[in-house]
Structure 1
Amino acid sequence: MTVGDADASNSMGDRIKRSLLSLLQSPNTRKRLVFVIIIIIAAALLALALVLVILLQAVPPTATDLLSPKDRFGITRLYPTSPGGIEWSSKWDNGAARTIVNDVDPEDDWFETKHGDGTYTIDGAGTLTASGDYVRMYVHDPANEREWSENLEITLYVKRIDETEIVDYSGMQVFARTNHGTEGRENVNYCDDRGYGGLVNINGGWAFEKETAHHLDDGYTRAAGQRPSGELPLNTWVGFKYVLRNMDDNTKVKLELYRDMTGGLNGGSWQKITEFIDNGNNFGVDRGACRPGVDPALPLIHSFIDDSSETGKPMLTVYVRHEYGTMAYSDFSIREITPLP
C-alpha cells in the first residue's frame, strides 16, 4: 500500500466516524436506536420465559420433604415417598376458582377431564365438585412419556352429594396401573385398559376391581369386599387411601384400602378396611381377556404385561370416576412409594 492509499483509507475512515457521530447526535436516531434495543431485550426475555415454561412443565412434581410424616395438606402419609419419586397433589386450593368441562386444568397440566362427560367446579379453596353421568378425572404426565410407578399411595377425600340414577357400581372408583385411553383409544387398545381399582360404593361396600377386558361383559372382577358400616353418608367427608405395592421380588401385587372418618383431623385416623394379594392365580381367572392369548389373571406388573400393551405404556395414568350424580373431592394426592421385598 502506498502513502497515498493510506491517506485515502484514513480519510474514508474519518468520514465514516463523522457520519456515525452525526447520526448518533440526531434525536430521532437515538430514539430509533433505543426502540430497537428495547425490542431486542423484550424478545430475548420472551424467549427465556418460554424456555423456562417448557422446562418447568417437563419436570414432574416431587416431594418437598421426604421425611415429613404428612403431605402438603396435613394428611398422614402411611408410607414415605420413595427417593426421586413423583408426589403429585391437586391445585384446587391455589385461590383460582374455575370450571372445567372436558379439558386440562389451566392451573395444573397433570390434571385433565377429557375422557368422560361431566362438569368440574373448583372453588379455589381446596374443593372440586364433579357432576355428570360419566365423571372422569385423569392424572398423568402431560407429555404422555413418564409412567407412574407400580407402587403408589393414593389419597383423597370424597363427599357424596346426590345421585340422578343408582346403578350397582354407584360410588367412587380410583384406578391405577392403567393407560385407559390416555394415549391411544380405549375402545381400540383394550390391553392398555387393564387396571386395578379401589372402590367405595354408595351402599357402603369397599372392594378391589381388576379390569381385564374393557370391551367385554366378563372383563371385570372384584375381590376382598367389605362393608364396615352403613351406606356412604351424604354430605360427609370420607377419607380414602389406596395403596398398591409389588411384593415377592416383583411377582405379586398387594392392594390395601384405608378409611378416615375424622375429616382429616390431625392427619386423619386411618383404618384399614380391606387388603388383597394378586398372586396370578386368584384375580381374573376365567375372565375375559384383552385379546386372544393374553392371560387375564396376570398380575399387572410391567414384566408380565408390557409385551401385550399396545403403546408400551400400560401404567401411564391414575384416574378417578363416578357415574350419575354429584360428588365433591379434596386433598387429592398421588405418591410413588417403595415396593415390598
Structure 2
Amino acid sequence: MLNPPRGGWKRHVFSTSVLALLVSAGPALAASGFSAVTASGNDGNPPSNTVDGNLSTRWSSDGVGQWLRGDLGAVKSLSAVDIAWHEGNKRTNTFVLATSTDGATWTTALSTKSSGTTANLERYGFTPRAARYVRVTVNGNSLNTWASIAEWAALTTATSPAGTDRFGVTQLYPSKPGGEAWALADSATSDKRFDPQNGITRNSDGSWKMKDSQVRMSVFTSTGYDDSRIPTYDRDVLTSRGYMQAANDWKNIEMTGFVRLNSAQDTADNFDWYARGGKHNDDHSGCEGSSYKAGFHYDGRARWQKETWHVSYEQTPYKPATSALKGRWVGFKSVMRNVPVNGQTAVKLEMYVNENADKVTWKKVYDFTDSGQWGGDAQHCGGATGGMPITWGGPIAVFRWDNANDVDFKWLSVREIQP
C-alpha cells in the first residue's frame, strides 16, 4: 500500500463491508461532534482525553467489554465513526460500534477489528442512521485486554427542516426523490387516497376520533387501487418484478401515526401499521393479502408479524416498548425496507416509539431482518420457497387496530424512503 503524502491520507479496505480512511493528525481531530463523553471506567486516563485533539493523550481501561460513549447532543443522521487507537500501529483492536436515540435501546452498527497499521484516525462507515448516542465496546486487542483510544469523532448531519414532515414530526430516513408520499389532510374525510372505512369525527384540538372496534384505515398510492390491474399473485414473479399493482406501490416506506387509546375491550390487542400488499380477504385465494405488520400492543409490548398470504401468520417474539398506552398520546413508526444480505434481497423491519409525543424523540423498540428463514407458506401463492421474504410493494398501506372502541389519532403519514 502506498504511503500518503505529508498531511494527506490513504485508503485501506478491510472487507467488503468496512472501508477505513486513515487520516493524518490535524485540527479536525478536535471537532469530534460530541457534546459529552463517558466511559465504563478508566485507569487515570479519562474519556475526555478522546476529544482533546491530542493524539498523545488517551482514554484507557482494562478488561474485555470496556466501553466509551459519546453524546451528539441531539438526534442526528450518523454515517461513520473515526477512531484513533492508542498504539494502533502495533496491535489490532476487536470492537463493536452501537448507536441509540435515547441512551437505553442500542443497535449494533458495526462489529469488526482495527487495521493494526496506524495510530491515526481510521474511519468506520455504515448505513446512515438516526442516533444521539454512540458507543464503542472494546473486546480486547491482539496483545492484551486493554481498551485504549486516543481520539474519536462522529460524522453526522444535523436534523434539518427537510428532516421533518408537514406536521413537524422528525423523519428518520431520507425520502426517495420523486417517491410516493401521503399525509393526513385537514379535510381527511374528502381525501380520495384515504379510506378509513368507518366514520371519523374531528376533535376540538384538530385530531380525529374513531369509535369502532375493528379499524382498517387504508392509504392508497397516487395511482389508486384497482385489483384488476394486478396481473399475477405468483410470489416468484412478484419478487422478480418488485411490485404487485404498479412500480410506485408502497415498498420501502416509513409509516407514522400518533394515537391516544381512550377505551379498549382487550388490553392485549394492538395497533398495526402495515404494507406490502393489497386487500386482505379471501379473494384470489388470499394471495393479495401479503404484509409485514408492526404490532404495537396496548399494554406496551411490540412485535412484527409476517402475513405471507391472508391468512398465514408468523410472529417474532414480543419485546417491551413502553408502558401501557391508555390515556396518553404516543407516536409510532413502522419502517420496512429492502437490504442486501449475503448477495440476496432481504427485508429490514424496524419499529420506533415517541413516548412523550414531542414529534422528535424516537426510540427504536424493534429491529428484525427477514432474509428468508422466517416461517412463511409462500408455496400457497406459487412461491418456490416457503419462507421467502416479501420483497415486493403493494398498492395499500393500512393503519389498523382491533378491540379498542375509542381512539384519537393524528399526524398520520406514509412516505417512500431510500432503501
Quick check: TM above 0.5? yes
Which residue is 1:311 aligned to? none
State the alpha-carbon separation in 2 of the partners of residues 89 and 250 from structure 1.
32
Which residue is 1:76 aligned to? 170
Which residue is 2:190 aligned to? 107
- Return the offset for 1:186: 4.3
State the alpha-carbon separation in 2 of the partners of residues 106 and 153 from structure 1.
23
Q: SS state of the match for residue 318, structure 2?
A: strand
Which residue is 1:297 aligned to? 387
- Contact 1:224–1:275 at 8 Å: present in 2 too? no
1:239 corresponds to which of 288, 310, 331: 331
State the alpha-carbon separation in 1 of the partners of residues 391 and 329 from structure 2.
33
Work out whether 1:210 is the aligned partner of 2:306.
Answer: yes
- Return the offset for 1:109: 0.7
2:375 corresponds to which of 259, 264, 284: 284
- Return the offset for 1:180: 2.0
Listed as ranges, the matches of 1:42-191 within 5 Å are 68-91=162-185, 94=186, 96=187, 106-114=189-197, 118-123=198-203, 126-141=206-221, 143-144=224-225, 146=246, 147-163=248-264, 165-166=265-266, 168=268, 170-181=269-280, 186-191=282-287
Of structures 1 and 2, the larger Rg is shown by: 1
- Return the offset for 1:119: 3.0
Alpha-carbon displacement from aligned partner over 1:180-231 (angstroms, at most 9, x marks no partner):
25xxx5444411101000011112111111112324xxx1111152113432
RMSD of aligned alpha carbons: 2.5
2:295 corresponds to which of 194, 199, 210: 199
Paired letter, 1:268: V
Paired letter, 2:307: E
2:397 corresponds to which of 303, 306, 318: 318
- Contact 1:262–1:268 at 8 Å: present in 2 too? no
State the alpha-carbon separation in 2 of the partners of residues 223 and 124 from structure 1.
39
State the alpha-carbon separation in 2 of the partners of residues 128 and 295 from structure 1.
42
- Contact 1:212–1:289 at 8 Å: present in 2 too? no
- Return the offset for 1:262: 2.1
Greater RCO structure (CA 8 Å; 6+ sep): 1
TM-score by length of 1: 0.63
Q: Whose helix proportion is higher, 1 or 2?
A: 1
TM-score by length of 2: 0.52
Structure 2 alignment gaps of length 5 or more:
1-159, 226-244
Provide the identity percentage: 27
Compared CA separation, residues 258 and 222, structure 1 to 2 (3 A): same
Paired letter, 2:293: G
Paired letter, 2:400: R
The count of corresponding residues between Structure 1 and Structure 2 is 236
Q: SS state of the match for residue 288, structure 2?
A: helix
- Contact 1:67–1:80 at 8 Å: present in 2 too? no
Q: Whose strand proportion is higher, 1 or 2?
A: 2
Paired letter, 2:262: I
- Contact 1:213–1:289 at 8 Å: present in 2 too? no
Compared CA separation, residues 200 and 143, structure 1 to 2 (3 A): closer
